[in-house]
Amino acid sequence: MAAYCGRACRQYLLHLAHDNVDFRLPVQTEIKALLSLRNRPFDTSETFSEKSPFWQLNGLSEDDIRSVMSRTVCGKSSFELWGHGTTTDELRKSLLEYPAENMAPYLQQHSTYKINVYTFNKTLVFKDRIKKIDALDFLPFKGTVNLKDPEHIFCLLEDYGSDPNDIPEDPFHIYFGRWIADGQRELIRSYSVKKRHFIGNTSMDAGLSFIMANHAKVKADDLVYDPFVGTGSLLVACSHFGAYVCGTDIDYNTIHGIGKASRKNQKWRGPDENIRANLRQYGTDRLYVDVMVSDASKPLWRKTAQFDAIVTDPPYGIRESTRRTGSHKDIIKPPEDFSGESHVPVSMAYHLSDIFADLLNFAARHLVLGGRLVYWLPIYRPEYCEEMVPLHPCLTLISNCEQTLSSHTSRRLITMEKTKEPEDSDRLSHLADPRFTPYQGHNSFREKYFSGVTKKNGKDAKATPRNKE
């Protein structure tokens, strides 16, 4: 058992949300990003396990933990770890080795406390929970038990693995510690898209929006931009953390909140369905800069425009088309009587490889040094390799996390950080290093997506024989 030391070296335990087990790596990136906001470099490799809902953190202070929990949506609760082990005897030994002076402030005679028992992947009846609490009678609790409003809360946490079909009799690991703070899981409910004033077909899930904002290290007074803003779900999450937000989109109807509604039993959008109304719903409309109708392939920003973060979800060509203004014709002549009003520009296909190349080039030019680009990259899983992830000489890849969508498709949450200003030589970087060449295979994602759906439906049809007439 590792030896305990002073306050600066205390161990802490994070209880992680387990609703997206296959999407666990963003937890690690989120915690590291939030700690870096406090200038706390942190190595997570030794104690992090993708399959475990518990994560031990070393070398941090309680203030660091409270700061992380004030923003994380991946963490449920945090504890000062007093002891742990693979058996009850190991736990007892570990707790007896914990310095008494560290326990003393929370075990005073005039204090109140309670002990909770949490078991992961196993349900215990009330009688068994009481037995486990009584087994901790060797700890010098002097205060009074108060189940409703205690000053201090302690927790016994048992890990029974992640396989619900193979639950062991005894836990794989046991932890005991003092509760410090809960995470911000409530934001997922209170910001739910189902309750959102203005939504569309591709509005981003609230939980994922907050994860992206944390990956981007969004903080108060930052300027955040979304070049594919849609209905503004990412702007809503970023504004929650005090950032000023703006965005663009090529879809005139979405930007202006007109046209057909996406809600069931509602045919047309209402008069006040727009992105600003979404921010007003959550009390952050003062942080709304503006949104504009614009083509991401032809950015309108002047060279001096600098953003602290770019957070976006580009269209994949599935529920939203990938289009840009332009034509394959060499010259397009407007009508002789054209006055510039009610003009609908000609559009053409915007290939995914071009979308990501333009996005990275834009980020390299318009992010501040240290600013982050966070976006989703759709992938056809049977062909995926790391070389498919777009790179840029000015941007450093921070994390690459997969979220499975189906048996054959997924999307990857890409986080990059600007580490140098662009130079003229960067324009030819793809000639010197093939990693900077846009991967053309992304352009066939739509066809491969629907090809997989067709194959799946074909198998289902074969497996379900029709009734004879």
In tens, the pLDDT along 22-35 reads 666 788 889 999 99
d(CA 104, CA 437): 61
Choose between 303 and 93: higher pLDDT.
93
Question: Average pLDDT for residues 201-208, to the nearest whole number?
Answer: 91
pTM for the structure as a whole: 0.87
Neighbours of 434 (CB within 10 A): 8
Task: Determine the Cα–Cα distance for residues 405 and 402; give it in Å rounded to an integer.
Answer: 9
CA nearest 57: which of 39, 79, 88?
79
Among 26-40, 249-263, 265-279, 441-455, the range scoring the smallest mean pLDDT is 441-455
Helix (H, G, I), strand (E, B) or coil at 209: helix
HSE value, Cβ hemisphere, 13 Å, CA-based, for 446 = 14
Kindly indicate the confidence band of residue 4, based on its pLDDT and cuts at 50, 70 and 90. Answer: very low
CATH topology (fold) of 188-323+346-440: Rossmann fold (3.40.50)
Residue type for 142, please? K
Distance, CA of 232 to CA of 244 (rounded, Å): 13
Sign of the C-alpha dihedral computed for residues 98, 101, 106 and 111 taken in this order: positive
- Which residues, in sequence order, are bridge partners of residue 349? 323
Q: Which residues neighbour 167 within 8 Å (Cβ) at sequence distance 6 or greater? A: 121, 122, 160, 161
Q: What is the pLDDT of residue 43?
A: 63
| Closest of 276, 164, 190 to residue 231, by C-alpha | 276
Average pLDDT value over all residues in the chain: 86
Q: State yes or no: pLDDT of 21 exceeds 70.
A: no
Q: Residue 381: is its pLDDT beyond 50? A: yes
Write out pLDDT tens, residues 294-340: 988 887 888 888 999 999 999 886 656 566 666 555 555 556 655 55
Q: Does domain 11-183 have CATH number 3.30.2130.30?
A: yes
Where exactly are the structural domains of the chain?
11-183, 188-323+346-440
| Higher pLDDT pick, 102 / 353 | 102
Given a contact cutoff of 8 angstroms between Cβ atoms, the answer to whether 206 and 233 are in contact is yes
Could you give the CA distance from residue 307 to residue 371 in angstroms, rounded to a whole number?
7
Q: How far apart are CA 43 and CA 16, in angstroms?
A: 18
Comparing 23-27, 89-93, 99-103, 296-300, which segment has the lowest mean pLDDT? 23-27
Pick 229 or 29 by higher pLDDT.
229
Average the pLDDT over 41-70 and give the result. Answer: 84
Q: How sure is the predictor about 152, in pLDDT bands with cuts at 50, 70 and 90?
A: very high
User: Tokens representing 439?
Assistant: 């991967």
- What is the rounded CA–CA span in Å between residue 224 and residue 371? 10
Q: Quick one: pLDDT at residue 279?
A: 96
Are β-strands 323-325 and 244-249 bridged in parallel, bridged antiparallel, or unpaired? unpaired
Q: What is the pLDDT of residues 125-143, one digit of tens each?
A: 999 999 999 999 999 999 9
CA distance 58 to 10: 7
Higher-confidence residue of 289 and 462: namely: 289
Quickly state the pLDDT bin for 174 (edges 50, 70, 90).
Answer: very high
> Which pLDDT does position 336 carry in this prediction?
60
Position 363 scores a pLDDT of 96
pLDDT at 457 over 60: no
DSSP 3-state assignment of 238?
helix
Residues 201, 205, 206: CA angle, nearest 5 degrees: 135
- What lies within 8 Å, CB to CB, of 372 at 6+ separation is 215, 216, 217, 309, 310, 398, 415, 416, 417, 418
| pLDDT score of 260 | 80
pLDDT tens digits for 425-453?
877 776 667 677 777 667 677 777 766 65
Q: Which residues contact 313 (CB under 8 A, 6 or more apart)?
A: 202, 204, 228, 230, 234, 375, 376
Nearest 5°: phi and psi at 85? 180, 170
